[in-house]
């Protein structure tokens, strides 16, 4: 545990980098049926994603040692498995192909052979004895996305919908006669403009009767279609400024009554999200974010609400059966957990995870952070060192920047943040303007403003916390991964506020990223900054590589050799530019890591190296 007999930033602690890396285990994608409760579990020790089954108060792993579950559709994947009548169907990481595993004998067989295609967002079609999936085929010079059906009997593939640039979220009504999905076209992103489509099955089992139910307008993003027990189609829409439940009401598409001005979903970077569910009699199981803080509740048709699992602050992957609600939940003081919540009385059981690795008095808890930045309100969470030094000095600050950049941070137990606070650093984990979870208008603030408003927020938080006496503003550091790394490098180039910084597979040249990025983000840079030709001066002004001479603070870089988003050459160019002018630079290269490190030994090393780098600067 931390000791306060040293200066801030140099406390010793039993909570080592190894502990923090090993605590990065996480869960995803709950499904439940008569065979039990199933989820995907990520283990940083071996970097695998495995499928687990909970039945009879026991959990065990189903995935053979040579397999790992992961979809790479849109590069970020999701929707990696679904339940069938006899077992589970899933996407295998190494070949991106579909497999079915029986529960009676554990046998695994491959479905079809489409080596140039990837799959995700799986949904079981009981009536058709098939899998519905998003298919992404990679051919020479082109990537094509479709909705397909793949027969479980012989792997025969049928195209259900094509022509749009992107598809997600295929879902069937309980009787199997209606199909709904989300689609959109370039240059839109799924959090800017999408369409909700529906089709009916005809007597031959085909889907000819297609219609657009909602969307297609510039100010509406739809996600997560669902059918309730009566066959009514429901979806999250941000037409009124927040991702809220909308549905078919008397033949009209309307916002469902009793809605609250809060986001009930996050930016859909990955497939397969489930942040709300119809639960019978017109009711809903809902997860929503209120100023970044998660709430789980049931809502009756008359608007009455009941909060659930109030000790937790983020909820994902909702599921339900006749007796229980299930979710993946996170809290400020413990690791992520799979929860079973009894529907009759709200009694809660931790099915997996939920460990409390630190004693309560040693946990740095998140404090909501609202502050002014360029005349507007910016958001985040502040973590003070849990044991204050008797010295008169104030603690140094590490500013955390999430990726995306249209993503978010949450007030949950982050092993990395605890690593820093245990050593006497304060942490500001920012939801800069442009983050999701605070409504459409807040999310849209990054439109053509990336490298401006996010940087302003990172700089302003140092002054805000310094004026409040919470930190020493002369000893502030900034770090970020991917898009967060870009913001960190911009802040170091254009503001003399930070003593040093870290870029983890961060963007240093947006135009270079635009030239090689994948289809899903192929137009994202144009939205974030502008047209590369018409707005060339804007790119010039916001490219850290072009302004390396303005960076005087030391920087440490971490880069994966298999990164397909930010190529290693981009980081190498930035390092070389800084070295050429004599800036103190460290670079660490991991040949077998991609975009976002996964192996525990690498996560450990990054923390240790970054800490040592900052301590030398203190």
Query: Is there a domain that residue 470 lies in?
Result: yes
Per-residue pLDDT tens over the stretch 194-229: 999 999 999 888 888 789 999 988 889 999 999 999
Here the tokens at position 513 are: 């990223």
Alpha carbon distance 8, 167 (integer Å): 50
Query: Is there a domain that residue 242 lies in?
Result: no
pLDDT for the residue 3: 53
Query: Is there a domain that residue 363 lies in?
Result: no
Query: Is there a domain that residue 83 lies in?
Result: no
Domain that holds residue 508: 373-617
Q: Which residues does 262 contact at the CB level (< 8 Å), separation at least 6?
A: 242, 244, 288, 289, 290
Alpha carbon distance 182, 236 (integer Å): 11
φ, ψ (nearest 5 deg) of residue 405: -80, -5
Distance between start and end Cα atoms, the chain? 22
Instruction: Show the low-confidence residues of the chain (pLDDT under 70).
Output: 1-5, 388-390
Query: Is there a domain that residue 6 lies in?
Result: no
Which conformational region is residue 479 in: left (phi greater than 0), alpha (psi within -120 to 50 degrees), or beta? Answer: beta
Query: Is there a domain that residue 293 lies in?
Result: no
Per-residue pLDDT tens over the stretch 225-241: 999 999 999 999 999 99
Q: Are 8 and 425 in contact (CB under 8 A)?
A: yes
pLDDT for the residue 64: 96
Query: Is there a domain that residue 16 lies in?
Result: no
Query: How many domains does the chain contain in total?
Result: 1
The enclosing domain of 450 has a CATH number of 3.40.50.1820
Query: Is there a domain that residue 546 lies in?
Result: yes
pLDDT for the residue 389: 62
Q: Are 217 and 293 in contact (CB under 8 A)?
A: no
């Amino acid at each position: 545990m931390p000791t306060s007999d040293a200066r801030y930033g140099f406390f010793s602690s039993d909570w080592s980098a190894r502990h923090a890396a090993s605590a990065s285990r996480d869960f995803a994608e709950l499904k439940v049926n008569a065979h039990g409760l199933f989820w995907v579990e990520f283990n940083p020790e071996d970097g695998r994603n495995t499928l687990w089954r909970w039945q009879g108060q026991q959990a065990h792993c189903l995935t053979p040692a040579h397999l790992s579950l992961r979809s790479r559709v849109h590069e970020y994947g999701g929707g990696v498995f679904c339940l069938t009548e006899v077992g589970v169907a899933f996407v295998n990481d190494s070949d991106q192909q579909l497999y079915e595993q029986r529960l009676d004998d554990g046998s695994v067989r491959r479905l079809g052979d489409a080596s140039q295609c990837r799959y995700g967002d799986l949904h079981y079609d009981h009536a058709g004895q098939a899998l519905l999936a998003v298919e992404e085929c990679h051919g020479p010079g082109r990537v094509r996305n479709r909705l397909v059906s793949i027969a479980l009997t012989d792997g025969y593939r049928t195209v259900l919908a094509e022509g749009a640039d992107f598809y997600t979220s295929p879902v069937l009504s309980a009787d199997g006669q209606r199909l709904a999905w989300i689609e959109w076209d370039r240059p839109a992103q799924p959090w800017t403009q999408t369409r909700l489509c529906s089709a009916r099955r005809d007597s031959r089992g085909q889907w000819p009767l297609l219609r657009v139910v909602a969307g297609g307008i510039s100010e509406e993003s739809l996600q997560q279609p669902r059918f309730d027990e009566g066959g009514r189609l429901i979806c999250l829409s941000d037409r009124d400024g927040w991702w809220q439940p909308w549905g078919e009401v008397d033949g009209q598409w309307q916002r469902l009554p009793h809605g609250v001005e809060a986001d009930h979903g996050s930016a859909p970077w990955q497939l397969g999200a489930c942040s709300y569910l119809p639960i019978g009699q017109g009711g809903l199981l809902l997860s929503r974010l209120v100023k970044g803080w998660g709430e789980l509740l049931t809502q009756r048709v008359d608007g009455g609400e009941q909060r659930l699992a109030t000790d937790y602050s983020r909820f994902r992957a909702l599921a339900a059966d006749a007796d229980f609600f299930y979710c993946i939940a996170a809290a400020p003081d413990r690791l992520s957990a799979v929860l079973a919540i009894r529907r009759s009385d709200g009694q809660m059981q931790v099915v997996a995870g939920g460990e409390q690795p630190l004693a309560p008095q040693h946990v740095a808890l998140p404090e909501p952070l609202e502050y002014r930045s360029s005349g507007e309100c910016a958001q985040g969470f502040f973590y003070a060192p849990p044991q204050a030094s008797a010295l008169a000095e104030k603690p140094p600050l590490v500013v955390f920047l999430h990726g995306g950049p249209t993503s978010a941070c949450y007030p949950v137990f982050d092993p990395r943040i605890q690593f820093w606070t245990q050593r006497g650093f304060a942490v500001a984990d920012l939801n800069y303007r442009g983050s999701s979870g605070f409504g459409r208008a807040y999310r849209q603030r990054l439109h053509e403003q990336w490298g401006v408003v996010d940087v302003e927020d990172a700089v302003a938080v140092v002054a805000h916390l310094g004026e409040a006496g919470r930190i020493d503003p002369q000893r502030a550091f900034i770090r970020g991964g991917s898009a967060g790394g870009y913001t960190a490098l911009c802040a170091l180039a254009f503001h003399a506020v930070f003593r040093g910084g870290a870029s983890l597979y961060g963007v240093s040249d947006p135009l270079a990223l635009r030239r090689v990025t994948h289809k899903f983000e192929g137009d994202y840079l144009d939205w974030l900054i502008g047209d590369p030709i018409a707005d060339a001066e804007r790119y010039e002004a916001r490219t850290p590589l072009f302004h390396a001479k303005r960076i005087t603070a030391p920087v440490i870089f971490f880069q994966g050799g298999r990164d397909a988003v930010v190529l290693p050459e981009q980081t190498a160019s930035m390092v070389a530019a800084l070295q050429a002018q004599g800036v103190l630079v460290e670079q660490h290269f991991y040949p077998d890591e991609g975009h976002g490190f996964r192996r525990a030994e690498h996560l450990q090393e990054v923390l240790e190296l970054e800490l040592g780098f900052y301590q030398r600067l203190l």
